[in-house]
Amino acid sequence: MKSVIAGRPRKVLPACLLLCLAALAAVLIARACRDVGPDLPSAEEVRARYMSSEGVLLDRHGVELDRVRLSYEGRRAEWTPLAMMSPALLEAVVEAEDRRFYVHGGVDWRAVLAAAARSAGAGPRRGASTITMQLVSFLLPGSVPRATGRTLGQKFKQMRLARKLEREWKKGEILEAYLNLVPFRGELEGITAATLGIFGKAPHGVVPAEAAILAALIRAPNAPAAKVAERAAALGRNLGWGLSAVDLEGRCREAFRQAHLLPPGSHWAPHVARLLFAGRGGVVPETGGGAIRCTLDGALQRRVSAALGRHLAELAPRNVRDGAVLVVDNASGEVLAYVGSGGDFSSARHVDGVRAFRQAGSSLKPFLYALAIDRRLITAASLLEDSPLEIAQAGGGMYRPENYDRRFHGAVTARIALASSINIPAVRVIELTGVEPFLDKLEGMEFGGLRRADYYGHSLALGSADISLWDLTNAYRTLAAGGVWTSLCLEPGGGCAGGARRVFGAPAAYVIGDILSDRESRSYAFGLDSPLATPFWAAVKTGTSKDMRDNWCVGYSGRHTVGVWMGNFTGEPMWNVLGVTGAAPLWAEIMHLLCREDADAPPEAPPGLVARMTALPALGITRREWFLAGTEMEVVEAPALGGKILAPADGEIIAWDPDIPAGRQKLFFEAQAAEGLHWELDGKAMGDAGNLVFWTPAPGVHTLLLRSADGETVDQVRFTVRGGPD
């Protein structure tokens, strides 16, 4: 007997010889199965270690918030149990791949014999791998390669392991694992990814025509639509489904026209999804997946995202393109909303504005005043001088702070200075506390990215440090918690309270909250009617960095702390946008949303505080004020303003300018409250101190005195002149 293959005669092995070979192979495999081979995982282990290529972020209620792709080796969806798959799908796959699946023990000897006969030349070639044998190659790819053209030894090993798997697993477990692991078209792996990516539906909704197409794809995943339809039609005839070949080809062409991507899912918290699935290690793993439940409230997250988008659209004409919002539960430290950018409204939607470092502006002032009050250096009623100030810097030069309105207000209380964010009094406070102790407090609240104290100098009082919204919001939450700092967390049970430490005393924290909620004291700068004036109790502070590159608004009620940053990720300045006009309206909208149903009452004063009616004759007011016990005062008098040298500053270094004629280079002496006083420079009288005195600088170190009529020294400074006329 002969057959012709490719035009050449070929001898066919006798049927009896084939039967003998098949019987011998069966005996050898059966005997080999008693040998110890590679350990096979259990069905439970395979399900447990299976990972979707998509990470799903769930909110605190278990509702999907976001999806992020974690693996680029293939697209895998969630594991699907056999009971959640269409019966037509199961029937089609078994018919196409292993029609005696339910009766053989891992190796289909009839199929092996038929394959051997065809290999010998009796018909078209076809493999004899069962579903179980294919599953073995998925489970142990190193031991049994999945590529075609296996050696006889590898095939023998695959059969042996398939029989072992059949003894350890149930048939349903084998079919379920196979369908969840088998590759389909493109990069789709597993039946769920295939049904979603090709037909846009879950496996349980697959109809017979779709089932036939999917089963036909297993053997040739990337075959042309016409070829897949031809195979699907033949499969339908075998099953008696009566499918139309024309209809199947149309379905294939329509389905294969798609990009075969999984549905995009939700994208409400992309920055949190990337952060949590990266394991907070900065690198997204190449394998992983599954679902992570976070602390975010999905409904609140969506509302805050939408609110940020609206405000960015409104501020776009004033060159504001980016923003970020963080909402925190005060008691637990759980983050309820985390919006890192404005999404479609943002210039760089993937940048995380919650974690980005930006200049703080006046947003750090509450912690400086809390330090000073805690150390009993000032009280809320203390009078601070808002007048021209010059401070010599360690590296040379002078620091001359200015108020935003370029005006001086004279003596103001610490309460008014903080509530109305007046700059110069804050610098006078950091002169009392020192820069290093203030920096220590910020580090105690785990502000990241801080530098040494001498890098900032006194400018730290006005927010020259770069900070993140994450750290700043939690620092304000520290004030809301009575001065006790704990960490924030994004996962339930994530150890929010870990590392609790007291940063400020409860009395000092309460006084700061009372100041930041004081509408009247805030009115000096913001008026009585501003976005900061809420109908419920809330303590809030704004901040604007140099050149209006950043503005902030952070504040807290009894239960929540809300932080808002607005600006541009590129660092471009905004156009006339302050904290009260940029970030504050959004802060107010979110805070109203949180307190709409049940507004918070003012917190109760902690032990250690004393309330007093305090008169301030210098301002012509009397008000009820809070004091740390032992610092209370019923009358606060302005200090007697004796003569004070305003210019030059003590320690100032002055250099000649070689480009200016010598006769035009003058240094002026200026004093405050100098009536009846006179100048003395290096022992030489320089005239009446009530008027400006101009002096031609001479090289060297000089001592300038302010003297009374009877010769008493009222004030003095030392300064240096470098260079001079040739």
180-209 pLDDT per residue, tens = 999 998 889 999 999 998 998 999 999 999
Which DSSP letter does residue 219 get? H
Higher pLDDT, 212 or 145: 212
Q: Which residue, among 562, 468, 490, has the nearest Cα to 275 in the 3D structure?
A: 490
pLDDT band at 644 (very low <50, low <70, confident <90, very high): confident
How deeply is 98 buried, as exposed, middle or buried, from its count of CB atoms within 10 A (0-12, 13-18, 19+)? buried
> Against a cut of 0.75, is the pTM above it?
yes
Backbone angles phi, psi at 579, to 5 degrees: -60, -35
Name the active-site residue from 97, 189, 249, 385.
97
Q: Which domains does the chain have, with CATH numbers?
A: 1-32+86-171 (no CATH), 335-628 (3.40.710.10), 644-722 (2.60.40.10)
Q: Is the pLDDT of residue 103 over 60?
A: yes
The token pair that represents 89 in the structure block: 């799908």
Residue recorded with tokens 């770069």:
466
What pLDDT does 484 receive? 97
**So what's the pLDDT on residue 9?**
42
pLDDT at 529: 83
Q: Is 129 one of the catalytic residues?
A: no
Mark 237-246 as b/e (b = at least 16 C-beta within 10 Å). eebebebeee
Per-residue pLDDT averaged across 54-74, rounded? 87
Please determine, for residue 112, whether its predicted confidence score (pLDDT) is greater than 90.
no
Beta bridge partners of 624: 613
pLDDT digits (tens, 9 = 90+) for 156-167: 788 889 899 999
pLDDT recorded at residue 46: 94
Q: What is the 3-state secondary structure (H, E, C) of 114-170?
A: HHHHHHHHHCCCCCCCCHHHHHHHHHCCCCCCCCCCCCHHHHHHHHHHHHHHHHHCC
CB neighbour list of residue 515: distance below 8 Å, 6 or more residues apart: 366, 369, 380, 414, 415, 418, 419, 521, 539
SS3 assignment, position 501:
strand
* Percent composition of the chain: helix, strand, coil (DSSP 3-state, to 5): 40, 20, 40
Is the pLDDT confidence value at 217 over 80?
yes
pLDDT above 90: percentage of residues in the chain: 59
Rounded CA gap, 246 and 616, in Å?
94
Rg (CA), the chain: 39
Active-site residue flag, 362? yes
The values of phi and psi at residue 273, to 5°, are: -60, -50
Report the C-alpha gap between 216 and 194 in whole angstroms: 12
β partners of residue 701: 720
pLDDT in the model for residue 146: 58
Better-predicted residue by pLDDT, 345 or 371: 371
Q: In the structure, what pLDDT confidence band is assigned to residue 260 with cuts at 50, 70 and 90?
A: low
Banded model confidence at residue 284, pLDDT cuts 50, 70, 90: very low
More confident residue, 370 or 498: 370
Closest to 584 in 3D by CA, of 315, 340, 386: 315
Mean local confidence (pLDDT), 86-104: 94
**Per-residue pLDDT, 23:** 54
**End-to-end C-alpha distance for the chain, whole angstroms:** 121
Q: Give residue 193's identity as a one-letter amino acid code.
A: A
Could you read off the pLDDT of 683-725 as tens digits, one per residue? 999 999 888 889 999 999 999 999 988 888 888 899 989 887 7
What value does the mean pLDDT of the chain take? 87
pLDDT tens digits, 465-509: 999 999 999 999 999 999 999 999 999 976 665 689 999 999 999
- How far is Cα 409 from Cα 289, in angstroms, rounded to an integer? 60
Q: Which range has the worst mean pLDDT, 305-319, 564-578, 583-597, 639-653? A: 639-653
With CA atoms as reference, report the closest residue to 412 among 450, 449, 441, 378.
378
Two tokens at 391? Answer: 């401070």
Are the beta carbons of 419 and 345 closer than 8 angstroms?
Answer: no
Which of 137, 266, 305, 362 is an active site residue?
A: 362
Cis omega (within 30 of 0) for bond into 145 = no
pLDDT of residue 208: 95
3-state secondary structure of 244: coil
Say what percent of the chain tops pLDDT 70. 86
